[in-house]
């Protein structure tokens, strides 16, 4: 069924708003998803603070024309959706969460590029960004690294005290 011009305008406006407000976005190829998997994907992304919007590639390109983005738009092939960060708290969340679903659903979802810090990024860069852990995880790792020497020092003192008894 064809989409009316009013519906297309509404979709382009929504996409333009998404690209204007979201600090990052990921382009997702989802052609092999089942309905149950798609529902799981949407629900989980929403819980993680990531929006998910499906649109035609031509409408996505049209919405991106109004945004001043550096670089070249990655090749959008197949059925494409946009995963975007809802808040500015975790700009890497869209690519990271989609990459997790790529592993979980055995390549039914594919990360094909995105927008990060006002520039288009290709698939390889998007996959590299998806490997960076969340802020909370990074802070926990940092705390562990800072605490480790102190902890080892205390263990050493404890062992020395055991020997002298």
Can you give the pLDDT of all 165 residues of the chain as single tens digits?
A: 678 889 989 999 999 998 888 888 999 999 888 899 999 999 999 988 899 999 998 998 888 887 777 888 888 888 899 999 877 677 888 999 898 888 888 778 889 989 988 888 888 888 888 888 888 888 898 888 888 888 888 888 888 888 866
- What whole-number distance in Å separates Cα of residue 30 and Cα of residue 3? 20
> What's this model's pTM, rounded to 2 decimal places?
0.79
Return the CATH architecture of domain 5-132: 2-Layer Sandwich (3.30)
Q: Is 130 helix (H, G, I), strand (E, B) or coil?
A: helix
């Amino acid at each position: 069924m064809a989409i009316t011009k009013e519906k297309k305008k509404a979709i382009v406006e929504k996409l333009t708003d998404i690209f204007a407000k979201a600090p990052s976005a990921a382009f997702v190829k989802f052609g092999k998803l089942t309905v149950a998997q798609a529902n799981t994907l949407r629900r989980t992304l929403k819980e993680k603070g990531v929006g998910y919007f499906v649109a035609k590639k031509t409408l996505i390109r049209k919405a991106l024309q109004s945004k001043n983005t550096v670089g070249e738009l990655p090749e959008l092939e197949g059925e494409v959706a946009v995963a975007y960060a809802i808040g500015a708290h975790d700009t890497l969340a869209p690519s990271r969460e989609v990459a997790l679903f790529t592993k979980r659903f055995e390549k039914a979802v594919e990360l094909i590029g995105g927008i990060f810090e006002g520039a288009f990024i290709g698939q390889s860069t998007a996959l590299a960004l998806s490997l960076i852990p969340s802020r909370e995880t990074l802070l926990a790792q940092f705390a562990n690294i800072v605490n480790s020497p102190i902890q080892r020092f205390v263990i050493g003192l404890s062992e020395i005290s055991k020997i002298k008894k």
